[in-house]
Structure 1
Amino acid sequence: MKKRFATLPDAYVILFIILALAAIMTWVVPAGEYEREETDTATVVVPGSYSQIDSEPAGLMDVFLAIQEGMIAAAPLIFLVLIIGGSFAVIEATGAIDALILKTIEKTKNKELILIAGVMVLFSVFGALGIVVNAVIAFIPIGIILARSMKFDAIVGVSIIYLGAYSGFATAFLDPLTVGTAQQIAELPIFSGVGYRIVIYATVVLATILYIFWYAKKIQRDPSKGVLSDNPFPKVEKGQADTDVEMTGVHKLVLLWLVIGIGIYVYGVFQHQWGLNEMAAIFLIIAVGTAFIDRITPNRLVAEFFNGAKGLVYGALIIGMARSIVVILENGKILDTIVEGMAAMMAPFTSATGAVAMFIANALFNFLVTSGSGQAVIVMPIMTPLADIMDVPRQIAVQAYKMGDGFTNVITPTSGVLMACLAVAGVPWTKWAKFVAPLLLIWSVIAIIFLVIGVWMDWGPF
């Protein structure tokens, strides 16, 4: 009995509790709204225009209706998640991604630091595109094998793969599910501001690689200095990673087809204002093309696709569950009241310090809601008008959300992906937290610097 209650609540349980609290708030918090005006690019809040209106509190039926309405409102994003998951399952079934990773390892053999940097950069690109964020668990055994071959420890093994991917995901300059969703809610062009985000991405990834270098060199000189000094590899992997996969011509064609598909989408975004629906279509084309290149039968294509999609149902539907909270706040007419209250609290702040406060608030909120896209649909409807009132560029609000969400993913024990990665490697969370806490502090300093610079340069939607 004690063990059952000691278990951390599931993300859906947390979101339902927040939903119920939001419904209760509609009975307590005064209803109100801002005036809004249309510009050439977006609908913006008129500062100082807040006024109270008649209350519309939520009933019991409204709570459960909000879940359905949230799912409907988030349907394009939910189906995009499922389609991307299915498409990458088809690609992974060809063995092309495994072959690419192992080819990188082979090319940098006996060059430890180059090998670490090469694999981390590769995974950071995948993370920045939102490709291997959840699937990163499957690659942890490769990281462990690498670390053992270089005589480091399991912390380094996890870091090469997990921190490689999440240093890219923390900025995610071309991730449609986090940055794309946040920009859509903030009424910014999809993937606008990508140039500045790439600079932030490069800085974060470089800092991460240097941190891993420092730790690896430290335990290379003296293994007792490592976090896992008493037992460098708590869980010896047995046959969980195939190190004999060769890069074939078919693998190269599959990867080329993937790059072409993503390239076409990026072109469409900037030249034809493509959005999430077009991305879903492109990934379906990538899946079908991959099956053709690898001679996957139609029936197997369907089986692989739905196996991949099935694995992401939990993460996809959480987006709709998160959206239901905003539905309750909007229908209860208290969303603008919350924004007005936060604006009053932040009145002493300048635009720059307000941006930093947004980052910190998102980082703390991520301990409750670890789904990046789920967090976007909850916080961005609040942060967008708040940014308008505080004279903070909306791109800054998006970036504050993304880094707040992305950074704390590497330490929060409520992250299923992190805990699964640590379980595969046999690394206790307490040991991991001791190792990663200084890096999280470094990331936070980088975030604050770039947010302040972004406010000063009035980072627009370019």
Structure 2
Amino acid sequence: MPLKTTPGEAGAAAPRKKKLPMPDVFIILFGFMILVLLASYIIPAGTYERSTANGLTQVATDSFRYIEAAPLNVMDLFTAIHNGLVAASTLVFLILIVGGVLKVIESTGAISAGIYRLLNLAQGRQNLLIFVYCATFATLASVGVGANLAIAFIPIGLILARSMKLDPIVGVAIIFLGSYAGFGAGVFDPTVTITGQTIAELPLFSGFMFRGAIFVVFLAITAAYICRYATRIKHNPHLSVMGAEAFESAGQNSQPDAHPAFTLTHKLVLALFPLAIGLFLFGAFNRDWGIPQLSATFLMLGIATAFIGRISPNDFVKRLMNGAGEVMYGALVVGVAAAVIVLLKQAQLIDTLVHSVATSLDGHGKIVAMELLYAFNLVFNGLITSGTGQAAIVMPIMVPIGDMLDVTRQATFITFKLGDAVTNIITPLSGTLMACLAIARISYVEWFKFALPLVAIWIVTGGVFVAVAVAINYGPF
């Protein structure tokens, strides 16, 4: 006769299986490195002839030939990480410097005070508040105040949503989606835009007018989408993806803290940023300034901020190091991603891959071919959510393909940039997204239901901009 067991005993006998955690981006990148090592024994090596014209390295379209294979070994696998960091060192150091300086600016309280000032100026007008905050965070992201910073401002978004009697979804959306609307354009982004344009051998920040148009369109679409949702749930709270009692169930009923004053110091600190960007643009277009000068400009911006904010030299260094520490992860991602390219070059597989992709795209026409590359990048971004890391892997492959399709380097870059940004707002591999949802106590399923239509709109809009960029031979090259 079988023995009876209590529910507790049954649970003890059959413990629930633990879910496997999402792999870290470094694990994914190392997995790619192992795949390249294995591929070096399977895929034939090949090469194109290259020449330099007008400062650009060009691929001779009909010069591809197979060569003797160069299989990799285990030592190659691990030395590639060091070599990748060395190859990407200028970008790694730029990211560390920018992250440190932005931390100095943030530590003055200027950004928080400015945002709260906007809250007061809007005087409770719902749609105006939503647009102003979306525009603010889109602008910050488009000039390099990374979308990751959105995490710190989610509580402000929740306060704003609560003041308008809306659900936490709106509070997250105006901050997070606003940031990525600006990140998608990357008008003056000193990290991802600079990384992509450096690899494409383009003048830094060139083509900003077209990216400005992308910024305006993506911002308008995003703000309109959030306003439409907010208006709908304002009239009928049961239409919220979180349910009618969203704030009560999420425990968001505490009173907001007092708003910080927006002082003259804050205004001066914020005014320094556009001045610094303007100085670099002048140097870039008139003095051939590059990444070293951009790093120097940010360092001068940090020192000027410390002077205005009356930050002592020791405190300045401490805040700079704290900021550099916060972006160290992303900076190292660039180097490890570059290690994948180091291995591909060492095994002489890049040109073989380029030849294979270019051949498969042959006969599709330039626009269709670039749309296919755009679609590939959308999918790839679901795995590598780091923009700089993705640029380090994808751009060396996309540039020669674009050249062979007779597409401008700028159009190739914008194809990468749009493909990099769109799926960040929905992939569960995005640490920024999952952190924002955790702070607001929103489940991923609820966010997915809310954001999926916007993702579809963004994808189509991005595809239109890719087609336009190819059709107008988007310059300067």
- Is the TM-score greater than 0.5? yes
Q: Secondary structure at the match of 2:202?
A: coil
The answer as to 2:420 corresponding to 1:405 is yes
In the TM superposition, what are the counterparts of 1:10-409 in structure 2 within 5 Å?
10-233=24-247, 234-237=249-252, 242-409=257-424
- The TM-score with structure 1 as length reference comes to 0.97
How many Å separate the matches in 2 of 1:399 and 1:19?
26
Give 1:239 deviation, angstroms. Answer: 7.3
CA distance 1:3–1:149, shift in 2 (3 Å): farther
Q: CA separation in 1, counterparts of 2:295 and 2:256?
A: 31
Contact 1:141–1:241, Cα closer than 8 Å, also in 2: no
Whether contact under 8 Å (1:141, 1:237) holds in the other structure is no
Partner Cα separation in structure 1 for residue 196 and residue 313 of structure 2: 36
Shift of 1:203: 0.6
Deviation per CA, 1:286-308: give whole Å up to 9, x if none. Answer: 11111111111111111111111
Indicate the percent of aligned positions where both proteins have the same amino acid.
Answer: 41
**1-side partners of 2:158 and 2:56: how far apart?**
48
CA distance in 2 between partners of 1:31 and 1:16 (Å): 21
Paired amino acid for 1:93:
S
Ranges in structure 1 where 5+ consecutive residues have no aligned partner: none
Shift of 1:237: 4.5
- Secondary structure of 1:28's counterpart equals coil
Q: 1:201 to 1:312 in 2, by over 3 A?
A: same
Select which of 452, 457, 460 maps to 2:472.
Answer: 457
Between the aligned partners of 1:131 and 1:335, the Cα distance in structure 2 is 33
Residue by residue over 1:153-182, the C-alpha shift from the partner in whole angstroms, topping out at 9 and shown as x without a partner, is 111000110011110001102112112111
**CA apart distance, 1:85:** 1.1
CA deviation map 1:291-344 (0-9, x unaligned): 111111111111111111111111110100000000000011111000111112
Q: In the aligned structure 2, how far is the partner of 1:329 from the partner of 1:124? A: 36
Pick which of 348-357 and 232-241 moved more: 232-241
Unaligned runs of 5+ in 2: 1-14
> Closer, same or farther in 2 for the Cα pair 1:453/1:258, shift >3 Å?
closer
CA distance in 2, matches of 1:241, 1:306: 31
What is the one-letter code of the residue matched to 2:26? Answer: Y
**1:430 aligned to 2:477?**
no
Aligned mates of 1:188, 1:154 — CA distance in 2: 41
What is the CA–CA distance in structure 2 between the aligned matches of 1:442 and 1:420, rounded to whole Å?
Answer: 24
Partner residue of 1:418 out of 423, 428, 433: 433
* Contact kept in structure 2, 1:393 and 1:458, CA below 8 Å: yes
Shift of 1:88: 1.2
Q: Give the aligned partner of residue 3 of structure 2.
A: none
Distance 1:3 1:279 in 2: 50
Q: Deviations over 1:242-296 (max 9, x none)?
A: 4420111111111122222222112222222222211111111111111111111
Relative to 1, partners in 2 of residues 1:54 and 1:134: Cα closer, same or farther, differing over 3 Å?
same
Report SS of the residue matched to 1:9.
Answer: coil
SS in 1 for 2:246: coil
**Are the counterparts in 2 of residues 41 and 188 from structure 1 also a CA contact under 8 Å?**
no
Summarize the Cα distance change of 1:237–1:226 in structure 2 as closer, same or farther, 3 Å threshold. Answer: closer
- In the aligned structure 2, how far is the partner of 1:272 from the partner of 1:431? 50
C-alpha distance in 2, partners of 1:402/1:409? 12
The structure that has the greater radius of gyration is 2
Distance across 2 between alignment mates of 1:238 and 1:87: 35
